[in-house]
A and B are shown apart, each in its own frame.
Chain A
Amino acid sequence: MFSKNIEIKSPRNVYGDTLVELGAKNPNIVVLDADLSCSTQTCRFAKAYPERFFNCGIAEQDMMGTAAGLAYGGKTVFASTFAMFATARCLDQIRNTICYSKLDVKIVATHGGITVGEDGASHQALEDISYMRSIPDMKVIVPGDCEEVKQVIEYAANTPGPMYIRIPRTNLKSVFSEEYKFNPATGVKVKEGNDITIVTNGETLYEVIEASKKLQEVGIEAEILHYPVVKPFKHIALKQSVQKTGKVVVVENHSIIGGLGSAVCESLCEHYPARVYRIGTKDTFGQSGEQRQLMEFYGLTDKKIYEKIIEFMDVK
């Protein structure tokens, strides 16, 4: 199930291509964007099926309302823009119109996290998972590589109800092969280990895998759990791992408030209390910078994750 060769691909291109493939099979699929179709890559669907693509202009609230109306009309709707504008700007429409009526709207937000880069804090969605996770009946998924992006989009198209799918701006290194099967019912054990459990998702998955190799060199065997589905959070894989390791680190390209780290803490509080160290952006706004510099600054590179875990392992 793991990729043998490391391929680097744009998850947005994969999203766009997957939409085109799904659009060919399912005439019920419609796609909406808010003037960022060239960035989100929904433009590929727009080109293939212009009659089923609606550009709502720079009007995210209207886009979510229109998406709801199309879903009321029986359509499976994909609505895309940057994560920053796809969530907070139209939170009321998402809550009161889309989720309250359990409509078949898939919000696929690109440019999630700090790695938006040079555009800076106004464009870096670090709280989007937190907003989305708190709305009843909203499913929240953060795929870890391009193969998974493809499978998650296919899953979304075939699963009724509201969903928030977050993909980053950055190109992703491959983790999974085509044999991998996305399973929303569980976390995915990516590496076996007894010393510490590392929970992650999204673009930090690859960084965590690299960090675990460095840990191995100093004799620490980390168990890696990839949790693409942040909500509904399935605790079994996590509990089983923590029963073994007793220690947990969560790594995410998101604020440590309200995201995967919070989901892990909430779950463990209830099922198997353990020490949890959360790596993500603190209670802070981002800033401009080159993608890798920002990852380094906010502690999300393999090297920084390794250092933090070494520190954490020393805490008695």
Chain B
Amino acid sequence: MKTFTNKLRQDIIKMIHNAKSGHPGGAFSCVDILAVLYKKVLNVPVEWDKSIDFNKRDRFVLSKGHASTALYATLAHCGFFPVNMLMSFRMLGSKLQGHPSSRAQLPGIEVSTGSLGQGLSIGVGMALALRLDKNETSKVFVLLGDGEMQEGSVWESLMNANNQKLNNLIVIIDKNELQIDGRTCDIKSLEPLDEKLKAFGFSVYSIDGHNYDEIEHTLLEAKNSNKLCAIIANTIKGKGVSFMENNAGWHGKAPNDEQLAKALEELNV
């Protein structure tokens, strides 16, 4: 898995370097979660909508749409579309838009996101649709950033999820504790996040968001649980590249040639 995620991180940083813009920090904090999700947890056909089992797939919503490179790299390396498409990221006419776009019809992309705080409401709607269709096979996974939880509509949808008793919805929070302007606890603290989620009716797991076994074990437990589950994944923004780790400055910045070389060297282990 480590070899796989190193490859994903290499492609993420190459995509952002090539596009001269993008969001490496938040992509690196959640890419381990995405890798485990797509390799071990989600039941999604790589043939995408050509699959006869398309309706039975699990749904995934990347609410923190700026981490699009992490999702694109994961999908490409899982076979949803050719890896050589990755370098079209952010280019005119590309299916790999700056933020995920269902309009662009890239296989594997379920919903459009980018404006923060909207993915969970969408996930709740998808979970309700599955329930109406009596689809008990599919589950809905929504990955949020912790910073985005400052958006009030996230709490509206947490309330709704509990009110609707959605046992087919799994909320994952990439808690990297940094946002554009600095530390989340300094800007607008979410703490105590676990207590808040419990008060909103969730069964809360707190895990190391870079420990593959822990991610897999917890996601599978949540997937098979009959309760409304939230997983707080404690992560490091910029994880994997020393000079990007825990540095809010790398939220939305592309590396120069030298920085790219250094990053690739660190990731080539």
Contact = CB atoms under 8 A, between A and B. Distances in A.
B160 A73 contact: no
Interface stretch (B44-52, B119-127, B208-216): B119-127
Contacts of B160: 56-57, 59, 62, 66
Ranked nearest first, the 3 interchain pairs of A and B with the lowest CB-CB distance are A69-B125, A73-B129, A65-B121
Given A65-B153, A101-B103, A72 B125 contact: yes
Interface stretch (B67-75, B108-116, B173-181): B108-116
A65 B103 contact: no
* Residue among A61, A66, A67, A96 with most chain B CB within 10 A: A66
B129 A100 contact: no
Contact of B118 (A57, A70, A74, A96): A96
B157 A62 contact: yes
Interface string B97-111: 000011100000011
B130 interface: yes
Interface of A: 30, 51-52, 54, 56-57, 59, 61-62, 64-75, 92-93, 96-97, 100-102
Contact of A75 (B115, B124, B132): B132
26 contacts: A30-B128, A57-B159, A57-B163, A59-B153, A59-B156, A59-B160, A62-B153, A62-B159, A65-B118, A65-B124, A66-B124, A66-B157, A69-B121, A69-B122, A70-B128, A72-B102, A73-B128, A74-B133, A92-B115, A92-B118, A93-B121, A93-B153, A96-B114, A97-B115, A97-B122, A100-B103
A62 B101 CA distance: 20
The number of chain B residues touching the other chain, given as a range, is 20 to 34
A93 B129 contact: no
Nearest to A77: B125
Contact of A69 (B114, B117, B123, B156): B123
Contacts of B124: 62, 65-66, 69
Chain A contact residues: helix, strand, loop or mixed: helix
Nearest to B122: A69
Contacts of A59: 153, 156, 159-160
A130 B234 CA distance: 44
A70 B112 contact: no
Given A69-B125, A93-B121, 9 more contacts: A57-B159, A62-B121, A62-B156, A65-B122, A66-B124, A70-B125, A72-B110, A72-B125, A97-B115
B64 to A, nearest CB: 14
B126 A69 contact: yes
Given A56-B160, A97-B112, A69 B128 contact: yes
A97 B120 CA distance: 12
Given A64-B121, A70-B128, A75-B129, A96 B156 contact: no
Interface string B68-108: 00000000000000000000000000000000011100000
B101 A68 contact: no
A153 B195 CA distance: 44
A100 B101 contact: yes
Interface string B142-181: 0000000000110011011001100000000000000000
A224 B6 CA distance: 68
A36 to B, nearest CB: 16
Contacts of B121: 61-62, 64-66, 68-69, 93
B125 A100 contact: no
B125 A73 contact: yes
Given A57-B159, A73-B133, A101 B112 contact: yes
A64 B113 CA distance: 14
B106 to A, nearest CB: 13
* Residue among B59, B129, B159 with most chain A CB within 10 A: B129
A279 B194 CA distance: 55
B132 A30 contact: yes
Contacts of B111: 68, 72, 97, 101
Contacts of A101: 101-103, 111-112
Contacts of A56: 156, 160
Nearest to B117: A61
